[in-house]
Chain A
């Protein structure tokens, strides 16, 4: 058991993202209300965004803006270890845009469903569909 404790403590960012992902997935599967399912979907996507953001972080790293002006040659060279990795963060800007767009489409569809069925509870909608 003891050998697993460091696994939890040092890699806690992974456990957090997996927990969030499962919460989102559970909401998408188990919730009856369509808007709650959409919230679950958003949690699911956010988990992956957090995962990406966490892999770019470094202990002691600063924001990746290079300041010029001090020293020449070796001293002016950029030490990558001083800066956090900006690439995963930039990728996630795109992923956030995608998830916002997905949310928009999902909510638009929900409005259309509500206009037709007058409810957002999935079991009531299925009931109506079975009757018709």
Chain B
């Protein structure tokens, strides 16, 4: 059983997605249990896989028994194992939380929603475990297509935002495919480990550099790296809240993982370190992403859109860290994938809870929420503190590694932008706390009629328990991850940092 974990991670949710779509026609009641079953299989087998990889070393799984350069293999080391566990657990937690929101907002679309949800997670998990460059493209498109549909389910401007995402996402995926084509021309192989071996004698060739640049542009488009981020704020801002809290934390993070995988396992660090001009350029782009993401977030008057711009800034942290070219920064970037997924999940889920009660996330809707929804706001505060980088919340530790990496590389621009972005986060979140804590509730009337200042105790109107418990789990996860930083770095991240990094 345990040797089948890499396949089960993908096959389990894939088959369950099929069952969910059938159940959607026959018995919509069964959709959620089947989806839970699928993601439960994924979560338990990815956890088992992580334990297996940590004790016995990397696992290579041959699909259909075909040997590596010809067949598709799933190659799982510490990096994919931990990201797969992260993706499946966050998706499972969010699935529980999505129950009430889907019931109230899309009662007639339960079947399609859960089918798309499970398929989307299947694609992400497949991208994480696969060891084949073309297989990755297919799974990337599975995730993206289901993502467009999930976002398009929302009302109002959501379909237009989703169509824009589709245009840019398709360009991104096509660029990735083109880059893989270039690699195939020069090597004749699609297997990542095989590619790394065949590419070593080609370092310095122009075709390789072109393949690398084209692949990177494609991946950056998908992860909304700064100048290519235009699709993200609208897509995640207008998406239905259960879809937003699935895609916003996971999609960008999985793409950053893919970028790091392509960097260290296909092109290898020796190649990246030899292209000094390119890595300088990328780190400065990351600096621009952090600064611009923060400044654009300051201009928003809606919680979800503000969070979406923070995601743009966070992508800058991770890409910058991966390209600084030393061990500390790479450790920080990988640690930040894990931490940022959980903290983005926490704040988007809190925004979902708020939307469930107030039917809006504009700043005016947040007034007086600390009294009305104390637990939700506490969790939002926890997520905010993690994003600002206050110990013992997990955000602090990955930023600490990133800043130390920046200092070691002597890149003051990166360090400065990271600190600036953290300060902007302070302003952003304390502005929200001020509105939610001090401003009285406005109901469109009253407030100025003489007895408005202490209008009696405010009735508690918390989000339903099925949303609140996952939210609490995410908030506690932030502290737990922060406290577990030491073992996480020692046992999981350090062994996979390539030795070639300075």
Contact = CB atoms under 8 A, between A and B. Distances in A.
Interface of A: 25, 28, 34, 37, 41, 44-45, 48, 51-52, 55, 88, 91, 94-95, 98, 101-102, 105-106, 108-110, 112-113, 116, 125, 129
A102 B171 CA distance: 11
Interface of B: 134, 137-138, 141, 145, 148-149, 152, 157, 159-160, 162-163, 166-167, 170-171, 173-174, 177-178, 181, 184-185
B180 to A, nearest CB: 9
Contacts of A105: 145, 148-149, 152, 166
Nearest to B141: A98
Which 3 A/B pairs are nearest by Cβ-Cβ distance?
A112-B159, A98-B141, A109-B163
A45 B152 contact: no
Contact of B163 (A25, A48, A110): A110
A91 B166 contact: no
Nearest to B152: A109
Q: A-side binding surface: helix, strand, loop or mixed?
A: helix
A102 B145 contact: yes
Contacts, number: 66
A48 B181 contact: yes
A44 B159 CA distance: 22
Q: B-side binding surface: helix, strand, loop or mixed?
A: helix
Contacts of A109: 148, 152, 159, 162-163, 166
B171 A88 contact: no
A52 B141 CA distance: 18
12 contacts: A28-B167, A28-B171, A52-B181, A94-B138, A95-B137, A95-B177, A105-B148, A106-B166, A109-B152, A109-B162, A129-B157, A129-B160
Given A105-B166, A113-B163, A51 B181 contact: yes
Contacts of B171: 25, 28, 41, 44
A112 B157 CA distance: 10
Given A44-B171, A105-B145, A105-B148, A116 B185 contact: no
A42 to B, nearest CB: 9
B264 to A, nearest CB: 24
A59 to B, nearest CB: 17
Nearest to A110: B163
Contacts of A113: 159-160, 163
A34 B177 CA distance: 24
Given A101-B141, A105-B166, 15 more contacts: A28-B171, A34-B163, A37-B167, A48-B178, A48-B181, A51-B178, A88-B181, A98-B141, A102-B141, A102-B166, A105-B145, A109-B148, A109-B162, A109-B163, A129-B160
A116 B160 CA distance: 10
Contact of A108 (B137, B152, B160, B174): B152
A45 B145 contact: no
B487 to A, nearest CB: 40
